Chains A and B, each alone.
Chain A
């Protein structure tokens, strides 16, 4: 069988480790990672996926890569606007919080993307390498939209906060510089360049690092993310039912748009289309939260972090990925 059916996605080790972390927290286990280990795992995964993606991209067509970059930008700039409109329509969240939350949904979650890769690899499904470059491109543009939406919201309300921020000469360019030189973006793009320009022979020497231990490291990372996601459940009451529902509905909208773009606009196969869908469905927890802390300080971090880490991440890992895969599979048969 070349593909996983139904929700057999749950039986992939990486996903099972995510569930283990989640359950460990729910049963109040004292399981805890040393803080720097979680950060190290994150650095490793971005490096490995960057090297792997860069190597594959060096053999890819430039025109398709440019096409993928265009659609990555389009998704990154459009999804936050859809998210913002949806949230404002609920009437449950003010404009500044809506802007900060929306920015998260235009960006991406590397953890979800890597889980999708684990899912595809477990099922023996081939996938294009272009989504890796889309992952790097989509980290930051949504931040710009989030800041613009917040600026627009402030002008509507004309708060003292806005006035004082203008007096302080809030540095938009400085923030953009930080967003686009964010450690994860630099690491991912840098690793891709190294993977692309290094000789095939030299890449072979780091194969155990890039390939062989990748899934094991991903399991550990997802174990930690499971703990982190379960911790956020305590904040569900603060967030409220409507926003929790948004954390499920928004990835479904993004994933549907992503699947259509992956299949029709980019012409990818089932694997590549699933990855584009996952990119569009996921919410950032690396690049966007720090940017929103600085640019939209009025927004409550517990709202966007709970949605991103506590609702959307688990939803995508457990349900979104197999769902988008199924959708991509259905489109391919039409």
Chain B
């Protein structure tokens, strides 16, 4: 039986159009593993109905270590300072590692 490993789970909520930009920036920190799902909702940026490309949100899920998370959060913070609209939610998780 594998031992549970402690990791961080980062969820980024943003507009679909920012997907490429965010992934390009995350790649600098050697983050190649992620899961993206499309979503709809509403917030300070108005309605995101999910019906057209221009008003579709995405959720980017990333599992990463704490040191790497800190670097990523600095990058996300920079983007937010530039005015990009995104939310970053961090949760502690225990994960069953792929390698025993």
Question: Which residues of A are interface residues toward B (Cβ below 8 A)?
Answer: 33, 35, 38-39, 42, 160-161, 164-165, 168, 224, 227-228, 231-232, 234-235, 238, 285-286, 289-290, 293-294, 296-303, 305-306
Contact = CB atoms under 8 A, between A and B. Distances in A.
A305 B46 contact: yes
Nearest to A306: B46
Question: Which secondary structure characterizes the binding site on chain A?
Answer: helix
13 contacts: A35-B40, A38-B51, A235-B47, A238-B46, A285-B54, A289-B54, A293-B15, A297-B83, A300-B44, A300-B45, A300-B46, A301-B45, A302-B45
Contacts of B84: 297
B68 interface: no
Interface in B1-38: 15, 17-18, 21, 38
Given A168-B78, A285-B54, A293-B18, A35 B38 contact: yes
A164 B78 contact: yes
Contacts of B46: 232, 235, 238, 300-303, 305-306
Contacts of A296: 83
Contact of A231 (B15, B45, B47): B47
B23 to A, nearest CB: 13
Contacts of B45: 300-302
A224 B51 contact: yes
B12 to A, nearest CB: 15
A160 B81 CA distance: 8
Contacts of B18: 293-294
B2 to A, nearest CB: 38
Contacts of B85: 297, 301
B65 interface: no
Interface string B48-59: 011111111000
Nearest to B48: A301
B83 A298 contact: yes
B82 interface: yes
A33 B49 CA distance: 11
Contacts of B49: 228, 231
Determine which residue in B21, B56, B82, B85 has the highest number of CB atoms from chain A within 10 A of its CB, and name it.
B82
